[in-house]
Amino acid sequence: MILRSIPSSGERLPAIGLGTYQAFDVGADRAAHARLQDVVRTLTAQGGSLIDSSPMYGRAEAAVGEVHAALGLRDKLFLATKVWTSGRDAGIRQMQASFRLMRTDVMDLMQIHNLVDWRTHTATIEQWKQHGNVRYIGITHYHAGAHTDLARLIETGKYDFVQLNYSIAEREAETGVLPQAQAKGVAVIVNRPFAQNGLFARVRGKPLPGWAAELGYHSWAQFFLRYIVSHPAVTCVIPATGNPAHALECCEAGREPLADESTRRRMARHFDQL
């Protein structure tokens, strides 16, 4: 799998990770947990490592912890979650709960979810980072309307990561946050790579163009992910899935060759005409 450097450290991160929104919000169903184990096993076998969660995602954090503990894979994973509440004490309690649920003593990346009370949580996470409890600090949002706020905070130089929505259907970041993050040395995690599955509805029943298959894209999912991964500012994209076959399909999109800029423009034009 393609590796991308985290600018603030030089650490290399695989370009395809795993989101957990809805997909990991499972109860005690043993069959569901077995599938999630297969998903995480597939991710690591294919060279991936980043798993992203949030207290907002129901039982997802707990499922991540249970799965990696059962598989003994903590050392192969880059665990990321978020703080999503207001107030210093509430934030500390929530982050402590995330550590417990995700079964880790050190969180690789702690992010401020949707910028909620970002001033307060930034101060706390910076302290935790200094003490070694957190390795990286980030900010997130899922909507292009917040890109201006993300850009403003990127300029402060306080954040190692920014997580944002970006897809072949939601390209607003290309003219703002992505080039800015690249210029300021901030790693980029991409959420909503399939526009909340809206992309698949748009292409349902439509074949991949022949030229895409010639480039090694074997499905629409790979077409959409390759468009994102090929942007030089993107560090990692996190499609969410609870299906091992889909996890494998997504991981395969994180391999060479990447699309050059002319191919990316061709991909966007083709999508726009569907």
All domains of the chain in start order, with CATH? 3-272 (3.20.20.100)
The pLDDT of residue 196 is above 90: no
216 confidence band (pLDDT: 50, 70, 90): confident
The pLDDT of residue 27 is above 90: no
Query: Is the pTM value of this prediction over 0.85?
Result: yes
pLDDT more than 70, % of the chain: 100
pLDDT of residue 128: 98
Per the prediction, the chain carries an average pLDDT of 96
Q: Do residues 151 and 177 touch, judged by C-beta distance below 8 A?
A: yes
**Inter-axis angle of helices 88-101 and 118-131, to 10 degrees?**
50
Nearest to 63 by CA among 28, 16, 15: 28
pLDDT of residue 178: 97
The pLDDT of residue 215 is above 90: no
Q: What is the mean pLDDT of residues 24-34?
A: 91
Burial class (CB in 10 A: 0-12, 13-18, 19+), 266: middle
In degrees, rounded to 5, the angle at the alpha carbon of residue 34 between the alpha carbons of residues 30 and 36 is 115
The pLDDT of residue 271 is above 90: yes
Q: Do residues 19 and 240 touch, judged by C-beta distance below 8 A?
A: yes
Give the Cα separation of 265 and 273 in Å (integer).
Answer: 12
Neighbouring-strand partners of residue 50: 78
Give the Cα separation of 84 and 78 in Å (integer).
Answer: 20
- Span of 98-102, 128-132, 198-202 with lowest mean pLDDT: 198-202
pLDDT of residue 6: 98
pLDDT of residue 28: 83
Nearest to 239 by CA among 230, 255, 257, 226: 226
Q: Do residues 138 and 161 touch, judged by C-beta distance below 8 A?
A: yes
Residue whose structure tokens are 């598989």: 71
pLDDT of residue 111: 98
Give the Cα separation of 48 and 1 in Å (integer).
Answer: 7
The pLDDT of residue 29 is above 90: no
pLDDT more than 90, % of the chain: 95
172 confidence band (pLDDT: 50, 70, 90): very high
| Strand, coil or helix: 57 | helix
Q: What is the mean pLDDT of residues 205-220?
A: 92
pLDDT of residue 2: 96
Give the Cα separation of 155 and 209 in Å (integer).
Answer: 40
Q: What is the mean pLDDT of residues 106-117?
A: 98
pLDDT of residue 193: 97
